[in-house]
Amino acid sequence: MNKFKINIQGMTCTGCEEHVAVALENVGAKNIEASFRRGEAVFELPDDIGVESAKKAIVEAEYQPGEIEEVQSEEKIVLGDEGDYDLLIIGSGGAAFSAAIKSVEYGAKVAMIERGTVGGTCVNIGCVPSKTLLRAGEINHLAKVNPFIGLQTSAGKVELAPLVKHKDELVSELQNQKYVNLIDEYGFELIEGEAIFVDENTVEVNGKKLSAKRFLIATGVSPSLPPISGLEKVDYLTSTTLLELKTVPKRLTVIGSGYIGMELGQLFHNLGSEVTLMQRSERLLKEYDQEISEAVEKALIEQGINLVKGATFERVEQEGQIKKVHVTVDGKKKVVESEQLLVATGRKPNTDALKLSAAGVEVGKRKEILINDYARTSNEKIYAAGDVTLGPQFVYVAAYEGGIVADNAIGGLNKKLDLSVVPGVIFTNPSIATVGLTEEQAKEKGYEVKKSVLPLDAVPRAIVNRETTGVFKLVADAKTSKLLGVHIVSENAGDVIYAATLAVKFGLTVEDLKDSLAPYLTMAEGLKLAALTFDKDVSKLSCCAV
């Protein structure tokens, strides 16, 4: 059998994928994977069947075959043969466990090396602890400030220590349930210690050399520090240590206003701190569409959070317990003082200790591990997945990539990573959720773009909630009406974005959204209303009217 990949024009949906697959199957092709999003099909042909017959079949199915190339199949390893392990995984987060579980299901002998706490960022110091405290902060904020006349709500002083203890108990429970207990459940080995590559086939852990047929590096990232004078002499906080505080600071300054800075800044604002978010950029969330940035900025200012944009950071100093951040904004010098200082200016890959050069693994400018479409590094025996590659930094992406590594490294399937449609959520209030292309990205890719921008005060759910700061934005191909991107600022935006993800992933059009039934008085109805907004003024429609 020979494996081929052919470019195909004319596929627009999953139905087209099926048509192509059937056409190829009819001429004897096997293991067919057709993708309308990538405009290609990958398949195998017996030695006695030529590629021209495959091209002819595609033409007869009324699609246009393009360039065809032979694909080098991934060599399937012999399990349980020479070497200590079939797969040796460095790291123990989402990517690591996904790869381990699937590899064991293939019958592989697997070990996982962890130098710190099992479970990685998400469960221990990221998603789980921050989101549970964010919910606590929201409840406290609503108790102090609610938009309904006649409701008498109030909030006392926040006792942060019990909240943090409760958070730690939840983290411990989920860490055991979703990670530690699975080690025995699936029967792979956990090795505690620092992994250092000796050569392309071997790592050393605690003075012992271990070999494997394949490796996966999934060591994640850690907070990075900006080059600001005096910062190293100040008692600053990171996203990890902030969540360990036992008292709510009177004032909190946050350097950096990306998703981590905004989430944690709003958390402590809701718990009672006076919060100042500071950033170098002139625009909040500059990588997002303008309408999204504006809606988020408006919401934060309405809530009483201080924003300092376009700042040049001169130096940081500490006098007693007070941290002072000296900046220049619009040519004027300014000093922001606070009891606590959070530095949230991005993350760096955890690769320094691995000695990757000994294994022939190339890294990028930020020391991220470079991988190809199959998650393979420059060393064909070594794979990488998750945040250490500086791809989309979401645990669900890491888990997906870990599964692909198992399929390729152990199963020999030669699967490509497909990160063309990745939803993202920022858990502020209102929350921010996006999927697909921004308007600018769509234009850069050559699309003729049409857009719809629906303010949240046109969405009935937001009106009855009495929280109408936000927006729905749809980006579509003007020629085909296919949805290219969806961007939302609203309560429950993270829940709504899954429906939008399916719409973008499977090539739905604006008309498809218009023709669907959306439950009234849900935030998801905003998707349909935004679709109607392409050619109607929804403020002049009756409830549920189309």
Residue that has been written with the tokens 């921010």 in this structure: 432
- The whole-angstrom distance between residue 59's C-alpha and the CA centroid of its chain comes to 39
On whether 257 is known to bind a ligand per the annotation, the reply is yes
CA gap 439, 420 in Å, rounded:
16
CA distances from 166 to 154, 162, 169, 414, 510 (A): 22, 6, 5, 44, 45
- Whether 63 is catalytic: yes
Which of helix, strand or coil describes residue 349?
strand
Q: Which of 1, 106, 127, 400 is catalytic?
A: 127
On whether 220 is known to bind a ligand per the annotation, the reply is no
Which of helix, strand or coil describes residue 320?
coil
On whether 537 is known to bind a ligand per the annotation, the reply is no
CA gap 156, 153 in Å, rounded:
10
SS3 content of the chain, % helix, strand, coil (to 5): 35, 25, 40
Phi-psi region of 161 (alpha: psi -120 to 50; beta: other; left: phi over 0): alpha
CA gap 103, 395 in Å, rounded:
19
CB 247 within 8 A of CB 161: yes
- Whether 11 is catalytic: yes
- Whether 543 is catalytic: yes
- The whole-angstrom distance between residue 197's C-alpha and the CA centroid of its chain comes to 29
Angle between helices 94-105 and 395-405 in degrees, nearest 10: 30
Which of helix, strand or coil describes residue 472?
strand
Q: Which of 85, 106, 112, 122 is catalytic?
A: 122
On whether 256 is known to bind a ligand per the annotation, the reply is yes
Q: Which of 16, 112, 278, 523 is catalytic?
A: 16
On whether 131 is known to bind a ligand per the annotation, the reply is yes
- Whether 16 is catalytic: yes
- Whether 278 is catalytic: no
CB 430 within 8 A of CB 416: no
User: What is the number of residues in the chain?
Assistant: 546
- Do the strands 40-45 and 64-70 form a parallel or antiparallel pair, or are they unpaired? unpaired
CA gap 375, 386 in Å, rounded:
10
Annotated binding site: 131, 256-263, 346, 387
Active-site residues, by number, are 11, 13, 16, 63, 122, 127, 543-544
Annotated binding site for FAD: 131, 346, 387
